[in-house]
Structure 1
């Protein structure tokens, strides 16, 4: 594990360095407090210096907001939106700007004590939130940990989502996402799964839910009468989260959650997969629910589907077409991947996004988002009858 060092009150101090997105620790760290100006902080951060905050928590948040405003202003002045009429170029320019923003804001640092407390004036009690994100403090741990202020704020926000839950109308209750697990706030894809007809030859199907996340689709299908649901995820946090949600919903007796890389053993009457919808490389584990480099998970689902279906089975691919509007993948490429896997489309059901960003005209990707459609593709082996 990396460490980070600084000088404070003429004494050299150090702490473990932790970053959820695996950002390296800054080589130089200086202690700052409420007296630092946004201009000085911006200049030092741009030079790569870490700013260890020792003042008031709310002032630290205000400083972060001021740095963010300067970043956005400089991006506008320097043509940071870029890309012209090329949607793919605009997407990559937008991601690069977000990466620069994360890098600079991530240089505003705080120290967590061994019990996960934050010793800044007017700081909230972050111990439960940090315990939820990082695990409980070790009993024999006596050293502090240095993290970025944006990470602490993200941990607090994720913990509030976890406590409050996300309302799922199809379940008439909430599911509770965990830190580092994709939150099902985009309900349109859940409604597609709740409404699509089950395989007529298997009205009480055995179901595989690949990449289950919070377990929400497994829960919807179990509530719809599935005989048994096997949910999988490669993320240990997601496995724990899904098990907890399914247990809370009273569905543990009809579901199983495996920590595995996509496929469980055996065959199912229905295989459901909602892969990340953008074929680009994630910059952290927190982005794994959005970005799928080279459409790898999508292709593995398609290529492995026939071998994991019963003779009457079908696969449901839930996929946004945002990648098509951004010029990252064409519809022809998607259909070719389906055909190359020996599959054909039995039916398709579409819905439009309802999330706020679809109507946010200030979003650089607004044109693509406004055209986005999420679809449920019913797929069967090419040798299957025209209707099952």
Structure 2
């Protein structure tokens, strides 16, 4: 980890620095407490100065909320096109994070010793420690309060889980692993015709929910791949909890494992744009790298008579990030034909939120499952 330095108690202090987005530690750090005014904190944060909080934890949260409200008051420029609206929205998200992440908290062995602070150690450990046998929390760790609250929220969701109708049980997402809250794509996985595949692959498995759904539908052997250590640990834990360890093998791979399969399923990120944090790689696929990698490689890994299932939203087309005919062109270039296209409308909250800057695109969005075969 990088070190963050600041001046306190008449000497220079140092601690390990944590940033999920990979941001460097702030160069300018001042001490803040319960007497710090919101306007002054906002001014400092806008100038790039971070505030290491030494007062009451609940007051630190209130200060963060006050800074966030001031950020959100900035007027939004009218956008001429949906693509312009998207780029403005992303720029606003980045700017908002840059400012609100300036309120910092210090942890000692994963615990916060500020008055009225909750017990955050389990949440921090769950977020930062993938291999509990070899990794330990540092003695002194500084991170943004916003990130710490995200860890706490993710920990609660991890314990609670997300109900999955196809499994008749819950899937539990780890911190940094995209939760299957958009259940409509799982409806497609559960409904698509199966031609009695003996071996199936789930590419980019994440929580392992697609692999588990395939087993529930009768597939005897599934290989689930991912290149994220967090996702691999998460999928393995869900597989164990579901008692599917004899049916599902979790493997680390950028895309495909070795060999061939009867069915290969992939639900890649839907938007070809830059990801600004690791969790965003589940949504943003720069230059459609994963999508193209899957399409161009799947033919070599399908058994004769096998199928590939691609689950893909058309939100990128409605925004203007991808041309309407791009996907069909890429199918043809990869030597793949569409046997069937199953569709479902999104049911998540943003699809009906007219205040969302991308509402005009979201209201038209459709998620499809393309059944593909080799030509």
Aligned pair count reads 373
| Aligned counterpart, 2:148 | 152
Q: CA RMSD in A?
A: 1.4
| Aligned counterpart, 1:45 | 45
Tell me, what secondary structure is at the counterpart of 2:255?
coil
Following the alignment from structure 1 to structure 2, what is the Cα–Cα distance between the partners of residues 188 and 319?
A: 11
Following the alignment from structure 2 to structure 1, what is the Cα–Cα distance between the partners of residues 228 and 353?
A: 31
Tell me, what secondary structure is at the counterpart of 2:282?
coil
**2:184, 2:346 within 8 Å by CA — same for their partners in 1?**
yes
Query: Structure 1 residues 158, 240: CA separation in 2 closer, same or farther (over 3 Å shift)?
Result: same
Alpha-carbon deviations, 1:344-371, whole Å to 9, x = none?
A: 1100000001111111111111111111
Query: Structure 1 residues 141, 281: CA separation in 2 closer, same or farther (over 3 Å shift)?
Result: closer
| Aligned counterpart, 1:165 | 161
Alpha-carbon deviations, 1:203-242, whole Å to 9, x = none?
A: 1431010000000000000111112000000001111110
Q: How does 1:225-374 map to 2 (within 5 A)?
A: 225-374=218-367
Deviation at 1:143, TM superposition (A): 3.1
Deviation at 1:59, TM superposition (A): 1.2
1:109 maps onto 2:107 in alignment: no
Query: Structure 1 residues 220, 141: CA separation in 2 closer, same or farther (over 3 Å shift)?
Result: closer
Following the alignment from structure 1 to structure 2, what is the Cα–Cα distance between the partners of residues 62 and 98?
A: 20
Structure 1 length normalisation: TM-score?
Answer: 0.94
Deviation at 1:141, TM superposition (A): 6.9
Deviation at 1:9, TM superposition (A): 2.7
Deviation at 1:10, TM superposition (A): 2.1
Alpha-carbon deviations, 1:290-337, whole Å to 9, x = none?
A: 000011111111111111101010100000111011000022011101
Following the alignment from structure 1 to structure 2, what is the Cα–Cα distance between the partners of residues 198 and 291?
A: 29
Query: Structure 1 residues 11, 137: CA separation in 2 closer, same or farther (over 3 Å shift)?
Result: farther
Structure 2 length normalisation: TM-score?
Answer: 0.97
| Aligned counterpart, 2:67 | 67
- The one of 83, 87, 92 aligned to 2:79: 83
Q: Mind listing any 5+ residue stretches in structure 2 that lack a counterpart?
A: none
Alpha-carbon deviations, 1:40-84, whole Å to 9, x = none?
A: 01100011101001111111111111111111112x1xxx34422
Following the alignment from structure 2 to structure 1, what is the Cα–Cα distance between the partners of residues 123 and 151?
A: 6
1:122 maps onto 2:116 in alignment: yes
Deviation at 1:139, TM superposition (A): 8.9
Alpha-carbon deviations, 1:166-193, whole Å to 9, x = none?
A: 1001100001001111110000001100
Following the alignment from structure 2 to structure 1, what is the Cα–Cα distance between the partners of residues 10 and 180?
A: 49
Q: Mind listing any 5+ residue stretches in structure 1 that lack a counterpart?
A: 383-388
Query: Structure 1 residues 227, 123: CA separation in 2 closer, same or farther (over 3 Å shift)?
Result: same
Query: Structure 1 residues 325, 33: CA separation in 2 closer, same or farther (over 3 Å shift)?
Result: same
**1:345, 1:377 within 8 Å by CA — same for their partners in 2?**
yes
Deviation at 1:24, TM superposition (A): 1.2
Following the alignment from structure 1 to structure 2, what is the Cα–Cα distance between the partners of residues 298 and 142?
A: 38
